[in-house]
Structure 1
Amino acid sequence: MTSAASDQTQPAQPDNSGADALAKSWEPGAVEAELYKGWVDAGYFTADATSDKPPFSIVLPPPNVTGSLHMGHALDHTLMDILARRKRMQGYEVLWLPGMDHAGIATQSVVAKQLAAQGIARDDLTRDEFIAKVWEWKAESGGAIGEQMRQLGDSVDWSRERFTLDEGLSRAVQTIFKRLYDEGLIYRAERLVNWSPVLQTAISDIEVKYEDVEGELVSFRYGSLDDNEPHIVVATTRMETMLGDTAIAVHPEDERYKHLVGTTLAHPFQDRQIPVIADDYVDPEFGTGAVKITPAHDPNDFEMGMRHSLPMPTIMGKTAEITGTGTQFDGMDRFEARVKVREALAEQGRLVAEKRPYLHSVGHSERSGEPIEPRLSMQWWVKVEELAKASGDAVREGNTVIHPNSLEPRWFDWVDNMHDWCISRQLWWGHRIPIWYGPEGETVCLAPGETAPDGYTQDPDVLDTWFSSALWPFSTMGWPDATADLAKFYPTSVLVTGYDILFFWVARMMMFGTYVAKEDAGTDALLGPAGQIPFQDVFLHGLVRDEHGSKMSKSKGNGIDPLDWVEQFGADALRFTLARGANPGSDLSVGEGNAQSSRNFANKLFNATKFALMNGAAPAELPARAELTDADLWILDRLEQVRGQVDDAFDRYEFGKASETLFHFAWDEVCDWYLELAKVQFGGPEGDLSDPRAVSTRAVLGNVLDALLRMLHPVMPFVTETLWKVLAGGESVVVADWPAASGIATDEAAAQRVADVQKLITELRRFRSDQGLKPSQKVPARLGGLEAAGLGAHADAIRSLVRVTVEEEGFEASASVEVRLTSATIVVDLDTSGTVDVEAEKRRMTKDLAAAEKELEGTAAKLANEAFLAKAPDVVVDKIKARQTLAGEEVERLTARLAELGGK
């Protein structure tokens, strides 16, 4: 284990002035902002593309410019920051590149609402005037999340901050659009899309949220009202769509309808006939076994319409009003028409069953809240088959590794079955599609810098936000130019994101990254070689849930603002809470109690370091191991073991395991044991700190805390910076070296002796507690067998930590404790006479015994219940067995103790 100050020599007398440099207690709010500003001003986070250090790069998943930091962001950013800070300490040239997404729909909606509040409708402005208003809003109010990232401690390179509508990124978007268009991989066609009647645009699948809705299932009759004449009964929850029906489908093998296949039935409101078709898609066991087909307003119906070359009339306009049907329903809102069509069918006598409740899943616009309308619309599309195959092959061939690999099947299922991607949006804010139309119907796609001929007009649509986001890993580094950043930092090292957007964003980046690399291969630049991928690892974390395991949402009122926790507990507490629960692919549950625990941990580190500084501890050259005590050897060896475990966990993206390991080492071993043993080795308050053992202890404690603070720094940057700079006297822990392997073999004998000491002390402390002795109360005791157990050198530590004194003349034992250790049994005789209220102790123990007996009976009853054992999971049964064992031990112990006291 190396030390940050291994070239220093320990002074003859300790310098404890460092303790005075620390505040009385840890107050994160008083120091976090100043510390962060100092890091940025010092340039610690600014990457150098000319450096000869090995590169490590991450691009920040760009949050929406309208957004604010939520718990999902906080988790994402914490994990990325841990990776970036650790790699920086390990000697890598680290680029963590930040930026924001222009968020077409969200941003346009925000600005439109602000204008509406001023009495200005969007259509009152020209397109250019509206866009100017959006840019004004961005300059004044956009990007608040950037300040929140600073509060969290993100070590991003602010000098390279990007925005998806920056000039450079816009040029990248236009470049790849033209390449894809020229190769026939972008095309325009009329297809079914998710349509938002409020926003009046197509929206992506990820912007559709499905909710269970209590709808109305209505059955009605096509054909004759005479049961003996040709007719078919169908059912629907969206009665208005029957105005766009172009077929009735049945299963080819359904004997009930075979005679009708190929015939037609009259539409109740229009002068046209509806054919009866046969298709394997229809489930003959569901409902009547016949379904109405509305190809322009239902995804499954659209596919059937394509298979059977059915007409596809669109019967709803941009705001979902009924249009073009030639019926009395034209001009009605879709929900009004739903009622009026049902009433009109009832008047005709066509309703077979009145409306009945029907719970079904309905897609709603995430942004505007209304039910989306599947709608046939002329849009721009990307052919994804070839691009998706390359994305799948990158993972199959191991060029990109998904963590955890258990999510690989979901990746392949998605990319191997991907449908063409709708990339156009009917908005004004965004990347305008670079297609121009001539007066005679000519079409031209312009490359960056090209100008459209006179008389040509540009396509009014903009590109889906995910289109520009798909270029993020390389457009942010200057592509399509050959830049130093691309040469140094591309492909990026790892992508960190939630598994919930694996298919939407990650797949699109993989598609465009592999495509551009293939296109650029053999040129001067850029991303080659062919087959290059945008990131080597994909780490997928889970969702942040509340303490009860429920998904956080505004409707449930269980959401937590991470900045509230930063204000209340400090950024380190928030970060440690999230990191401690984060492992590949797993959701994590957090509550205020977790954050308070993490704040307590920060306080523990602060107080432990302050104690060390008060005793002159500092990282220094260690004495030869032969000169160290068992406790010194044990804690140094444990430090080395923990370092290896933490490195292994971080390398595997097991943030929770690494954090948990550091927590227990710091709290349970350094603070609860080594600091207590160190107090003895310092000689107590009046001890001689120039004593060789005290000098060694200061060096060991200083080195242990130095390495511990460095390992904790990526997770808890603020408290570790505050403490490390005082302890080690270095410039900043941000640029300190990551702890390296010591290469020294563990002293197993010393470790075993310390384990024996811990067991003995624990048992004696339990005895004291059972006796009702006050923690500060000292009692005379005789320690027998220490030499035989090899613990003679630990006698002072044992006596000090269990508050017993050496027996004096006339000592008479009133109690005895036996503790079996590795090689001997220690017998401790104590004189507790006059220190215990026997009757009070008997009453307390009798009460405890009754509780233990009740627990023993309860667990025994459960374990004797065959019905319970047959249904209960193994983990539950094991817990009950453990409770039973513990209860039995308690009954035995308390019964024996009461007997000693002359009780039960």
Structure 2
Amino acid sequence: MSIAKTYTPADVEAKWYQRWQEQGFFKAKANPRKQPYSVVIPPPNVTGVLHMGHMLNNTIQDVLVRRARMQGKEACWVPGTDHASIATEAKVVALLKEQGIEKKDLTREQFLEHAFAWKEKYGGIILEQLKQLGASCDWDRTRFTMEPELTDAVLRVFVDLHQKGLVYRGVRMVNWDPLGQTALSDEEVIPKDVMAKMYYLRYEVVSDSLAVVSEGDQQNNADNQQLTTDNSYLTVATSRPETIMADVAVAVNPNDPRYTHLHGARLRIPLLGREIPVILDEYVSIDFGTGALKVTPAHDLNDYELGVKHKLPVIDILNNDGTLNEKAVLYVGQDRFAARRNIVKDLEEAGHLVKVEEYASIVQTSERTKAVIEPRLSLQWFLKMEHLAKPALEVVENDTVKLHPAKFKNTYRVWMENVRDWCISRQLWWGQQIPAYYLPDGTYVVALTAEEALVQAREQSGNEALQLTDLRQDEDVLDTWFSSWLWPISVFDGFKDPDNADVNYFYPTNDLVTGPDILFFWVARMIMAGLEFRKEVPFRNVYLTGIVRDGQGRKMSKQLGNSPDPLDLIKQFGADGVRTGMLFSAPAGNDLLYDEKLVEQGRNFSNKLWNAFRLISGWEVDAALPFPNDKAVEWFSARLNATITELDEHFEKFRISDALMTVYKLVWDDFCSEYLEMIKPAYQAPIDPETLRLTTGFLETLLRLLHPFMPFITEEIWHELKERGPKEYVCVAAWPKAQPVAGAPEVLARMSKALDVVAGVRTIRNQKGLGPNKPLTLAAKTDDASLLTDYDGIIRKLAALTDISVVEAAPAASVGFVTGGSEFFVPLEGQIDLGAEKERLGKELEYAQGFRDSVLRKLANEKFVANAKADLVERERQKLADTEAKITALEQSLAAM
């Protein structure tokens, strides 16, 4: 059999993925004879391409799904994409602009035609890329959040929640994205640390009822720049001077003695000249800024609440795109930031700018467009959350839904206990259009279809002459998350047919893998939807991955230029190398500091496995040879079964990175570095049939354990090992079960001692530069001579020894080491410079004696022995025993020289 010298991933990955699909291994259907295992993919944006976060998230999902499939479960991984209203509309608008087409010149229907055409051309790219990673999704089940069936589910839910009184329409302060020109939920707003400027402005006091101010108060106020008494000005600090045209009052604390004389006064807005009152409210902090707060209800949430309390007017000076409208009077048509620059210049020239200070601040930005958010009063649709949040909190608190790691329960609790109503409307065309229909008199009805709306409208108005043309559907669409919160139900058509076989079998799903950054506005909301519409949680476990960061701790992004292209990595290192590289240091909930060396390590692991396969496959068999490797086989069998048990425990606790490292060490260290070396025949010598049979069996078991992590190379080696039947793929081979090995603990302990002896000899070889194959002998001063007898062949072979003997004293010119309570000596006469070795041993003995004396002093300290923990004292005593044994060995080695 001709086997390639090196493993080339590009030669096998596409081949095996195609064969898995042809065999239908990824397809799932309701099967009462099997235990279901279902996972829904966090649907990537239809605009997206594969990035490092996707790589980590989908690798973990694939590991879980492939293992479940091998366990004999009906494994169903549902793929799909999210229509991503804001991101997709922005891309389509930009594309149209390149073609000389403006959105405003299109009808809604024309725009949607362009958008769907874009989606059909580019929307499936990321799913095709996931196949290169090895994702074993049931591609026949691919869903899209804006496909007709899922859109119908969204509209049904909106109508249902409106009928329950949970959906309402009202004017409230929202986060407004001037670039996307839409409202955003709190969770779609990202805080950004910036250095901002605070502008101190003078508002002229114009009230005739101004109280008399004493000379002392005048001086005090002037010093504090609160009140410039010569011209009767009040100084107000603001970070947004362009909004002063929307001011309707200035508030001061009624208990602030500096402003007692201003109670009932009126001020004049700088430049604009409009008069506004001074109002009193204890909300104003006396110690912050100047203690005088400009009140702009249309552009600040706290100001809005003050305005409602004091029955103040509302002046909205901004257009949807962030430019100033005619209500501003000044700078009309200018962008808000251009207006800021211009008004600061004009205020300074007019003598109204007292000073400017820089300070560290936080601005809120749009997650999608990166634009600075404007707090803005807007008529929107909202969903009441309190009713939905309470049961969704309970199921996480009582572990009906388990978060991994559990530390995120606290974060989840804080959010759920402080939840606010959800703004679910968006001022876009791409998305599910809100099923609300307005009558000519401005009232509205909510219905699934226009025809149903007409029936309701006639009943509501008493006007049977109303026609469909008299109704106007709400222009807004629903927040994208309002479709994805239904994902675990809607992908199984649980709204179209609540009793269908798929939803009854696969819902609730088993595990969800996602990032902690969407714990609230996706995970929590899915739990709410599941409890509200299925009376059952949507999943049992939530595995929260960390964020992939670069070596400087920065989140990887194309904007920063610090993220490699995942497909380039796959081409360079192979999908298996990338998968394992991502998982090597990716414990749940902790960020992954990406290092390409990890991916190189993953590729090296593939090569190590390939070379082990080539070694085994290259052995010739001599049927007449006896079986000489009982100790090696017995040990590796015990080691293998102990590892399977440990591996299953890691999976049970969602320690995926630990699971990989466990099997990695088993393959690299135990199998390749130790076991194969123990049983490997001499150069060009044959091997006995029983050893080869057992070793091949071990390799097959290792391939099954590795397959969820490294699907491609394991399938390639699986089929190269021997002829397989048409359905005999490692992809669907049984997951190994731990088998009890008689006396396993003793077997493992004894072999560990033997390998420690080998390690001691190898250390001496390295220290003395003797080379791995230079013949040496070993003398042992031990009470456990049976260890050397039982493992004579293994120790000789691995340590390259010609003889092992038991002695009463150290042989002449030997170097020793201590392990397992026994002393071992390697005679080196004629092998090394004895004078230099004697000097080295003398220094080592001096150091060991000094260390022993320090431990003795600690143990002689009665206070330490009396107060220290028992295990700490015992460790010190063990240190003393080990050091004294080492000193004895060194003294004997010196004496022998």
Mapped partners of 1:634, 1:259: distance in 2: 92
Listed one character per residue, the Cα deviations across residues 178-225 of structure 1 (whole Å, up to 9, x for unaligned) are 011122211121222222222222233344333333333211122428
The residue type equivalent to 2:55 in the other structure is A
- 5 Å-filtered alignment, 1:789-868, equals 789-806=786-803, 815-822=813-820, 825=822, 827-830=824-827, 832-833=829-830, 835-836=831-832
> What is the match of residue 492 of structure 1?
509
Mapped partners of 2:261, 2:707: distance in 1: 77
> What is the match of residue 30 of structure 1?
11
Task: Please state whether the residue corresponding to 1:76 is helix, strand or coil.
Answer: helix
> What is the match of residue 493 of structure 2?
478
> What is the match of residue 430 of structure 1?
431
Task: Please state whether the residue corresponding to 2:49 is helix, strand or coil.
Answer: coil
Please point out which of 605, 608, 619 is paired with 2:612: 608
Q: Sequence identity, in percent?
A: 41
> What is the match of residue 515 of structure 1?
532
Q: Which deviates more, 587-596 or 247-256?
A: 247-256
| Structure 1 residue 750, shift from structure 2 partner | 2.5
| Structure 1 residue 251, shift from structure 2 partner | 3.2
Cα 1:494–1:259 shift into 2, 3 Å? farther
> What is the match of residue 689 of structure 1?
688
The residue type equivalent to 1:413 in the other structure is V
Residue 288 (structure 2) pairs with residue 286 (structure 1): yes
| Structure 1 residue 149, shift from structure 2 partner | 0.3
> What is the match of residue 238 of structure 2?
236
Cα 1:258–1:616 shift into 2, 3 Å? farther
The residue type equivalent to 2:290 in the other structure is T
Cα 1:722–1:896 shift into 2, 3 Å? farther
- 5 Å-filtered alignment, 1:83-162, equals 83-162=64-143
The residue type equivalent to 1:613 in the other structure is S
Mapped partners of 1:559, 1:570: distance in 2: 18
> What is the match of residue 337 of structure 1?
339
Q: Does the 8 Å contact 1:498/1:542 carry over to 2? A: yes
> What is the match of residue 595 of structure 1?
599
Q: Which deviates more, 305-314 or 435-444?
A: 305-314
> What is the match of residue 46 of structure 2?
65
> What is the match of residue 304 of structure 2?
302
| Structure 1 residue 276, shift from structure 2 partner | 2.9
Q: Which deviates more, 291-300 or 724-733?
A: 724-733
- 5 Å-filtered alignment, 1:120-269, equals 120-224=101-205, 227=229, 231-268=233-270
Mapped partners of 1:610, 1:502: distance in 2: 46
Listed one character per residue, the Cα deviations across residues 484-527 of structure 1 (whole Å, up to 9, x for unaligned) are 1101001111211111111111122122222212xxxxxxxxxx
| Structure 1 residue 280, shift from structure 2 partner | 4.1
Structure 1 gap segments, 5+ residues each: 1-16, 518-529, 618-622, 857-880
Q: Does the 8 Å contact 1:252/1:258 carry over to 2? A: yes
Q: Which deviates more, 553-562 or 421-430?
A: 553-562
Task: Please state whether the residue corresponding to 2:197 is helix, strand or coil.
Answer: strand
Q: Does the 8 Å contact 1:583/1:653 carry over to 2? A: no
| Structure 1 residue 703, shift from structure 2 partner | 3.1
Residue 710 (structure 2) pairs with residue 706 (structure 1): no
- 5 Å-filtered alignment, 1:5-20, equals 17=1, 20=2
Q: Which deviates more, 458-467 or 263-272?
A: 263-272
> What is the match of residue 567 of structure 1?
571
Mapped partners of 2:115, 2:784: distance in 1: 81
Mapped partners of 1:270, 1:390: distance in 2: 52
> What is the match of residue 581 of structure 1?
585
Listed one character per residue, the Cα deviations across residues 572-617 of structure 1 (whole Å, up to 9, x for unaligned) are 1111122222222211212111111111111111211222233479
Cα 1:548–1:215 shift into 2, 3 Å? closer
The residue type equivalent to 1:131 in the other structure is L
Cα 1:782–1:387 shift into 2, 3 Å? closer
Cα 1:829–1:645 shift into 2, 3 Å? closer
Mapped partners of 2:888, 2:91: distance in 1: 68
Cα 1:367–1:893 shift into 2, 3 Å? farther
Cα 1:769–1:188 shift into 2, 3 Å? same
Cα 1:418–1:146 shift into 2, 3 Å? same
The residue type equivalent to 2:608 in the other structure is K
The residue type equivalent to 1:71 in the other structure is M
Mapped partners of 2:655, 2:421: distance in 1: 36
Listed one character per residue, the Cα deviations across residues 317-349 of structure 1 (whole Å, up to 9, x for unaligned) are 112121232623323322232233334444553
> What is the match of residue 756 of structure 1?
753
Mapped partners of 1:75, 1:63: distance in 2: 13
- 5 Å-filtered alignment, 1:410-809, equals 410-448=411-449, 450=451, 452=454, 453-480=468-495, 481-482=497-498, 483-517=500-534, 530=535, 532-615=536-619, 629-679=630-680, 682=681, 685-687=684-686, 689-690=688-689, 695=690, 697-727=691-721, 730=724, 731-779=728-776, 788-806=785-803
Q: Does the 8 Å contact 2:642/2:738 carry over to 1? A: no
Cα 1:415–1:817 shift into 2, 3 Å? same
Structure 2 gap segments, 5+ residues each: 206-226, 455-467, 852-875
Q: Does the 8 Å contact 1:842/1:901 carry over to 2? A: no
Mapped partners of 1:398, 1:405: distance in 2: 9
| Structure 1 residue 110, shift from structure 2 partner | 1.2
The residue type equivalent to 1:593 in the other structure is K
| Structure 1 residue 49, shift from structure 2 partner | 1.3
Task: Please state whether the residue corresponding to 1:313 is helix, strand or coil.
Answer: coil
Cα 1:769–1:343 shift into 2, 3 Å? closer
The residue type equivalent to 1:716 in the other structure is M
Mapped partners of 2:836, 2:132: distance in 1: 54
Mapped partners of 2:678, 2:382: distance in 1: 70
The residue type equivalent to 2:710 in the other structure is M
Cα 1:216–1:51 shift into 2, 3 Å? same
| Structure 1 residue 152, shift from structure 2 partner | 0.6
Q: Which structure's relative contact order is higher, taking Cα pairs within 8 Å and 6+ residues apart?
A: 1
The residue type equivalent to 2:484 in the other structure is S
Mapped partners of 1:558, 1:342: distance in 2: 38
Mapped partners of 1:350, 1:338: distance in 2: 14
The residue type equivalent to 2:249 in the other structure is A
Q: Which deviates more, 154-163 or 187-196?
A: 187-196
Mapped partners of 1:814, 1:685: distance in 2: 37
Q: Does the 8 Å contact 1:631/1:750 carry over to 2? A: no
Cα 1:386–1:309 shift into 2, 3 Å? farther
Mapped partners of 2:326, 2:701: distance in 1: 74
| Structure 1 residue 375, shift from structure 2 partner | 1.8
Task: Please state whether the residue corresponding to 2:299 is helix, strand or coil.
Answer: coil
Task: Please state whether the residue corresponding to 1:411 is helix, strand or coil.
Answer: helix
Cα root mean square deviation, aligned:
3.6
Cα 1:488–1:228 shift into 2, 3 Å? same
Task: Please state whether the residue corresponding to 2:360 is helix, strand or coil.
Answer: strand
The residue type equivalent to 1:306 in the other structure is V
Q: Does the 8 Å contact 1:230/1:260 carry over to 2? A: no
Mapped partners of 1:510, 1:895: distance in 2: 67
The residue type equivalent to 2:133 in the other structure is L
Task: Please state whether the residue corresponding to 1:550 is helix, strand or coil.
Answer: coil
Mapped partners of 2:888, 2:439: distance in 1: 95
Q: TM-score, normalised by structure 1?
A: 0.84
Cα 1:533–1:749 shift into 2, 3 Å? closer
Mapped partners of 1:688, 1:613: distance in 2: 11
Task: Please state whether the residue corresponding to 2:92 is helix, strand or coil.
Answer: helix
